[in-house]
Protein backbone atom coordinates (compact mmCIF):
# COMPACT_ATOMS: atom_id res chain seq x y z
CA UNK A 1 0.00 0.00 0.00
CA UNK A 2 1.25 3.47 -0.90
CA UNK A 3 1.73 5.90 1.98
CA UNK A 4 0.66 9.23 0.52
CA UNK A 5 2.79 11.87 2.23
CA UNK A 6 0.87 14.77 0.74
CA UNK A 7 -2.40 13.59 2.27
CA UNK A 8 -0.75 12.87 5.61
CA UNK A 9 0.82 16.33 5.55
CA UNK A 10 -2.63 17.93 5.24
CA UNK A 11 -3.65 16.22 8.45
CA UNK A 12 -0.53 17.45 10.24
CA UNK A 13 -0.97 21.00 8.94
CA UNK A 14 -4.48 21.25 10.33
CA UNK A 15 -3.09 20.60 13.79
CA UNK A 16 -0.21 23.02 13.22
CA UNK A 17 -2.65 25.74 12.16
CA UNK A 18 -4.46 25.38 15.46
CA UNK A 19 -1.20 25.69 17.39
CA UNK A 20 -0.10 28.65 15.30
CA UNK A 21 -3.35 30.52 15.93
CA UNK A 22 -2.69 30.39 19.65
CA UNK A 23 0.56 32.31 19.20
CA UNK A 24 -0.03 36.04 18.85
CA UNK A 25 3.60 36.91 18.13
CA UNK A 26 5.06 37.34 14.67
CA UNK A 27 6.93 34.18 13.71
CA UNK A 28 9.99 34.23 11.45
CA UNK A 29 11.90 31.17 10.24
CA UNK A 30 15.15 31.65 8.38
CA UNK A 31 17.08 29.37 6.05
CA UNK A 32 20.71 29.95 5.09
CA UNK A 33 21.52 28.90 1.54
CA UNK A 34 25.15 28.83 0.46
CA UNK A 35 25.44 28.38 -3.29
CA UNK A 36 22.70 27.62 -5.77
CA UNK A 37 22.14 23.83 -5.97
CA UNK A 38 18.95 22.77 -7.75
CA UNK A 39 18.01 20.22 -5.08
CA UNK A 40 18.55 22.75 -2.29
CA UNK A 41 16.31 25.30 -4.00
CA UNK A 42 13.50 22.75 -4.39
CA UNK A 43 13.69 21.83 -0.70
CA UNK A 44 13.57 25.49 0.28
CA UNK A 45 10.56 26.26 -1.91
CA UNK A 46 8.63 23.41 -0.28
CA UNK A 47 9.34 24.90 3.12
CA UNK A 48 8.30 28.34 1.89
CA UNK A 49 4.90 27.01 0.77
CA UNK A 50 4.19 25.54 4.20
CA UNK A 51 5.34 28.71 5.94
CA UNK A 52 2.77 30.69 3.96
CA UNK A 53 0.01 28.26 4.94
CA UNK A 54 0.95 28.64 8.62
CA UNK A 55 1.32 32.44 8.49
CA UNK A 56 5.04 32.27 9.19
CA UNK A 57 7.46 34.77 7.67
CA UNK A 58 10.00 32.65 5.78
CA UNK A 59 13.29 34.37 5.04
CA UNK A 60 15.93 33.00 2.69
CA UNK A 61 19.48 34.24 3.24
CA UNK A 62 21.36 33.56 0.01
CA UNK A 63 25.14 33.58 0.26
CA UNK A 64 27.88 33.13 -2.31
CA UNK A 65 29.26 29.59 -2.48
CA UNK A 66 32.79 31.02 -2.14
CA UNK A 67 32.03 32.71 1.17
CA UNK A 68 34.86 32.38 3.67
CA UNK A 69 34.59 30.51 6.94
CA UNK A 70 34.92 33.62 9.13
CA UNK A 71 32.33 35.52 7.09
CA UNK A 72 29.75 32.75 7.36
CA UNK A 73 30.42 32.28 11.06
CA UNK A 74 29.87 36.00 11.72
CA UNK A 75 26.72 36.04 9.59
CA UNK A 76 25.18 33.16 11.54
CA UNK A 77 26.27 34.59 14.90
CA UNK A 78 24.57 37.88 14.09
CA UNK A 79 21.32 36.13 13.10
CA UNK A 80 21.30 34.10 16.31
CA UNK A 81 21.61 37.29 18.37
CA UNK A 82 18.64 39.00 16.70
CA UNK A 83 15.05 38.70 17.86
CA UNK A 84 14.08 37.57 14.37
CA UNK A 85 14.26 34.96 13.01
CA UNK A 86 13.31 32.85 16.03
CA UNK A 87 14.37 29.69 14.21
CA UNK A 88 17.17 28.90 11.76
CA UNK A 89 18.36 26.10 9.54
CA UNK A 90 21.24 25.69 7.15
CA UNK A 91 20.29 24.07 3.86
CA UNK A 92 22.74 21.21 3.42
CA UNK A 93 25.03 20.35 1.86
CA UNK A 94 27.58 23.14 2.18
CA UNK A 95 30.46 23.67 -0.27
CA UNK A 96 33.48 21.44 0.42
CA UNK A 97 35.60 24.20 1.96
CA UNK A 98 33.07 24.73 4.76
CA UNK A 99 32.84 22.16 7.57
CA UNK A 100 29.14 21.57 8.10
CA UNK A 101 29.14 20.61 11.77
CA UNK A 102 31.10 23.70 12.75
CA UNK A 103 28.36 25.95 11.37
CA UNK A 104 25.47 23.78 12.52
CA UNK A 105 26.78 24.14 16.07
CA UNK A 106 26.53 27.92 15.65
CA UNK A 107 22.73 27.74 15.34
CA UNK A 108 22.46 26.83 19.02
CA UNK A 109 19.05 27.75 20.51
CA UNK A 110 17.56 28.55 17.09
CA UNK A 111 18.33 25.09 15.65
CA UNK A 112 15.03 23.70 14.30
CA UNK A 113 16.51 20.54 12.74
CA UNK A 114 18.36 19.28 15.85
CA UNK A 115 21.71 19.16 14.07
CA UNK A 116 23.82 21.26 16.47
CA UNK A 117 25.96 19.27 18.89
CA UNK A 118 23.81 20.35 21.83
CA UNK A 119 20.58 19.13 20.21
CA UNK A 120 22.22 15.94 18.93
CA UNK A 121 23.53 15.24 22.42
CA UNK A 122 20.09 15.76 23.95
CA UNK A 123 18.58 13.33 21.45
CA UNK A 124 21.10 10.54 21.99
CA UNK A 125 21.11 10.78 25.79
CA UNK A 126 17.39 10.90 26.56
CA UNK A 127 15.89 7.79 28.11
CA UNK A 128 12.39 8.05 26.67
CA UNK A 129 11.22 9.83 23.56
CA UNK A 130 8.99 12.79 24.25
CA UNK A 131 7.48 13.97 20.99
CA UNK A 132 6.21 17.09 22.68
CA UNK A 133 9.83 18.25 22.64
CA UNK A 134 12.11 19.25 19.77
CA UNK A 135 13.16 16.13 17.87
CA UNK A 136 15.01 15.39 14.61
CA UNK A 137 12.37 15.72 11.84
CA UNK A 138 13.36 12.37 10.31
CA UNK A 139 12.65 10.57 13.59
CA UNK A 140 9.32 12.34 13.99
CA UNK A 141 8.45 11.39 10.40
CA UNK A 142 9.35 7.75 10.90
CA UNK A 143 7.51 7.55 14.21
CA UNK A 144 4.42 9.13 12.66
CA UNK A 145 4.40 6.59 9.81
CA UNK A 146 5.03 3.60 12.08
CA UNK A 147 2.18 4.63 14.36
CA UNK A 148 -0.13 5.37 11.44
CA UNK A 149 0.23 1.82 10.08
CA UNK A 150 0.14 0.39 13.62
CA UNK A 151 3.42 -1.48 13.17
CA UNK A 152 5.14 -2.98 16.22
CA UNK A 153 8.90 -2.57 15.84
CA UNK A 154 9.83 -4.73 18.83
CA UNK A 155 12.00 -7.71 17.82
CA UNK A 156 11.55 -6.91 14.11
CA UNK A 157 14.58 -6.66 11.81
CA UNK A 158 15.12 -3.10 10.64
CA UNK A 159 17.56 -2.31 7.85
CA UNK A 160 18.84 1.28 7.62
CA UNK A 161 20.78 2.13 4.48
CA UNK A 162 22.88 5.26 4.74
CA UNK A 163 24.24 6.81 7.94
CA UNK A 164 24.02 10.51 7.14
CA UNK A 165 23.63 13.27 9.72
CA UNK A 166 20.06 14.09 8.62
CA UNK A 167 18.52 10.61 8.49
CA UNK A 168 20.57 7.50 9.17
CA UNK A 169 22.22 8.19 12.50
CA UNK A 170 19.00 9.42 14.11
CA UNK A 171 16.81 6.68 12.64
CA UNK A 172 19.16 3.89 13.78
CA UNK A 173 19.05 5.13 17.35
CA UNK A 174 15.27 5.52 17.31
CA UNK A 175 14.77 1.97 16.00
CA UNK A 176 17.09 0.52 18.64
CA UNK A 177 15.23 2.38 21.37
CA UNK A 178 12.04 0.78 20.04
CA UNK A 179 13.67 -2.65 20.62
CA UNK A 180 14.08 -3.40 16.94
CA UNK A 181 17.04 -5.48 15.72
CA UNK A 182 18.87 -2.94 13.59
CA UNK A 183 21.22 -3.55 10.66
CA UNK A 184 22.99 -0.40 9.50
CA UNK A 185 24.66 -0.20 6.09
CA UNK A 186 26.71 2.80 5.02
CA UNK A 187 26.37 1.94 1.34
CA UNK A 188 24.98 -0.57 -1.14
CA UNK A 189 27.25 -3.49 -2.02
CA UNK A 190 27.06 -7.13 -3.16
CA UNK A 191 25.78 -8.23 0.27
CA UNK A 192 22.87 -5.80 0.41
CA UNK A 193 20.41 -8.10 -1.40
CA UNK A 194 20.72 -10.65 1.41
CA UNK A 195 19.77 -8.05 4.02
CA UNK A 196 16.91 -6.70 1.90
CA UNK A 197 15.29 -10.14 1.93
CA UNK A 198 15.61 -10.42 5.72
CA UNK A 199 14.38 -7.00 6.86
CA UNK A 200 10.85 -6.36 8.11
CA UNK A 201 11.47 -2.60 7.83
CA UNK A 202 13.77 -0.87 5.34
CA UNK A 203 14.64 2.81 5.83
CA UNK A 204 16.83 4.33 3.16
CA UNK A 205 18.40 7.75 2.69
CA UNK A 206 21.21 7.21 0.21
CA UNK A 207 20.12 9.46 -2.65
CA UNK A 208 20.81 6.86 -5.35
CA UNK A 209 17.90 6.47 -7.81
CA UNK A 210 16.08 3.12 -7.71
CA UNK A 211 18.92 1.38 -5.90
CA UNK A 212 16.52 -0.62 -3.69
CA UNK A 213 14.88 -3.18 -5.99
CA UNK A 214 13.94 -6.06 -3.71
CA UNK A 215 12.46 -6.76 -0.29
CA UNK A 216 10.93 -9.41 1.93
CA UNK A 217 7.25 -10.14 1.36
CA UNK A 218 5.21 -7.90 3.63
CA UNK A 219 8.06 -5.52 4.42
CA UNK A 220 7.61 -1.81 5.17
CA UNK A 221 9.79 0.46 3.02
CA UNK A 222 10.37 4.10 3.96
CA UNK A 223 12.36 6.14 1.46
CA UNK A 224 14.08 9.36 2.49
CA UNK A 225 16.33 9.33 -0.61
CA UNK A 226 16.12 12.17 -3.10
CA UNK A 227 17.90 12.84 -6.36
CA UNK A 228 17.16 15.12 -9.32
CA UNK A 229 18.27 13.96 -12.77
CA UNK A 230 17.35 15.98 -15.85
CA UNK A 231 14.69 17.79 -13.83
CA UNK A 232 13.01 14.58 -12.62
CA UNK A 233 12.91 13.53 -8.95
CA UNK A 234 13.90 9.99 -7.97
CA UNK A 235 13.95 8.11 -4.69
CA UNK A 236 16.13 5.20 -3.58
CA UNK A 237 13.34 2.66 -4.03
CA UNK A 238 12.41 1.15 -7.37
CA UNK A 239 8.67 1.17 -6.74
CA UNK A 240 7.80 -1.05 -9.70
CA UNK A 241 10.05 -3.80 -8.35
CA UNK A 242 8.75 -3.81 -4.77
CA UNK A 243 5.12 -2.65 -4.95
CA UNK A 244 3.70 -6.18 -5.09
CA UNK A 245 5.90 -7.40 -2.22
CA UNK A 246 5.82 -4.56 0.29
CA UNK A 247 2.91 -4.14 2.68
CA UNK A 248 3.57 -0.38 2.80
CA UNK A 249 5.97 1.92 0.99
CA UNK A 250 6.55 5.64 0.53
CA UNK A 251 6.89 6.99 -3.02
CA UNK A 252 9.30 9.73 -4.11
CA UNK A 253 8.21 12.43 -4.61
CA UNK A 254 5.18 12.70 -2.34
CA UNK A 255 6.20 10.29 0.40
CA UNK A 256 8.37 11.18 3.38
CA UNK A 257 9.22 14.67 2.06
CA UNK A 258 5.92 16.43 2.83
CA UNK A 259 5.77 14.83 6.28
CA UNK A 260 9.38 15.80 7.00
CA UNK A 261 8.68 19.45 6.18
CA UNK A 262 5.60 19.46 8.42
CA UNK A 263 7.66 18.02 11.28
CA UNK A 264 10.26 20.75 10.86
CA UNK A 265 7.52 23.35 11.33
CA UNK A 266 6.18 21.37 14.27
CA UNK A 267 9.61 21.80 15.87
CA UNK A 268 9.64 25.51 15.10
CA UNK A 269 6.22 26.14 16.64
CA UNK A 270 7.10 24.07 19.71
CA UNK A 271 10.20 26.24 20.17
CA UNK A 272 7.92 29.27 20.58
CA UNK A 273 5.61 27.68 23.14
CA UNK A 274 7.90 25.79 25.53
Domain coordinates of the chain in residue numbers?
25-110, 137-257
- In CATH terms, are 25-110 and 137-257 the same topology? yes
Q: Is it the case that residue 130 has pLDDT exceeding 80? A: no
258: part of which helix (H) or strand (E)?
helix 256-273
- CATH architecture classification, 137-257: 3-Layer(aba) Sandwich (3.40)
Q: What is the pLDDT of residues 36-91, one digit of tens each?
A: 888 888 899 999 999 999 999 999 999 999 999 999 999 999 999 999 999 999 99
Q: List Cα–Cα distances, 173 to 65, 185, 263, in angstroms.
A: 33, 14, 18
212: β partners: 237
Angle separating helix axes 38-53 and 256-273, nearest 10 degrees: 50
How many CB atoms neighbour CB 7 within 10 A? 10
CATH class label, 25-110: alpha beta
* CA gap 85, 81 in Å, rounded: 9
Residue 133: what pLDDT? 77
Q: Is it the case that residue 274 has pLDDT exceeding 70? A: no
Q: What is the mean pLDDT of residues 193-215?
A: 95
Tell which residue, 66, 63, 65, has the closest CA to residue 75: 63
Q: List Cα–Cα distances, 29 to 14, 77, 80, 206, in angstroms.
A: 19, 15, 12, 28
Q: Is it the case that residue 128 has pLDDT exceeding 80? A: no
Residue 231: what pLDDT? 85
Q: What is the pLDDT of residues 150-202, one digit of tens each?
A: 999 999 999 999 999 999 999 999 999 999 999 999 888 888 999 999 999 99
Amino acid sequence: MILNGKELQKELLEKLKEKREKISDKLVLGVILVGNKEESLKFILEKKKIAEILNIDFRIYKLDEKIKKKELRKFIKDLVKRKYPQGLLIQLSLPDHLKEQYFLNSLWKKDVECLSKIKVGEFFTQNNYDFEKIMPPAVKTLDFIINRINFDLKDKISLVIGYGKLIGRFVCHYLREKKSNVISLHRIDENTKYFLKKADVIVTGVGEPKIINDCKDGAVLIDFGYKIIDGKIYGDIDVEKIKDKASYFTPTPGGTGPILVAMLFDNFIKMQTK
